[in-house]
Amino acid sequence: MDRYSLMAAMMAFVACGAAAETLAAETAQVGNARAGLVYATKTCSACHDVKAQEDRRVSVAGAPTFHAVAKTWTMLALNVFLTTPHATMPNLMIADRDRQNVIAYIMSLKDSPKTGPL
């Protein structure tokens, strides 16, 4: 194997490892989507439309709908976002299990029809 082939193989190996690590991080934090809907309805619905609404990108309050979030965010990105303070959101302290459940619910909307998730 020449030097360039060896380097290409090593780069491919590293890329596969990084992809596997990302996938493992995302799948390790799977919650209960139904419990996430209950929590989101009580806690998040004042600003967000938490039900599946493909035809709207923002809620009445101007916050993105959960369906719009599901189409553009990953589980990992949501986990980071929900554990970091942001000026546009109340400083909520969400318990780990509740956060995982809400993320599972949001991800259940990713490919759901307008009739509803889960």
Single-letter residue type at 77: A
Check residues 36 and 19 and name the one with the higher pLDDT.
36
Tell me the pTM.
0.67
pLDDT tens track for 57-115: 887 778 899 999 999 999 999 999 999 887 777 777 889 999 999 999 999 998 765 54
| pLDDT of 95 | 93
Architecture of the domain whose range is 31-118? Orthogonal Bundle (1.10)
Residue (of 50, 2, 34) closest to 100 by Cα position: 34
What residue spans of the chain are helical by DSSP H? 3-27, 33-43, 66-72, 75-81, 96-108
Lowest mean pLDDT among 20-29, 33-42, 66-75, 101-110: 20-29
Give the 3-state secondary structure of residue 32. coil
Could you tell me the maximum CA-CA distance found in the chain, to the nearest angstrom?
61
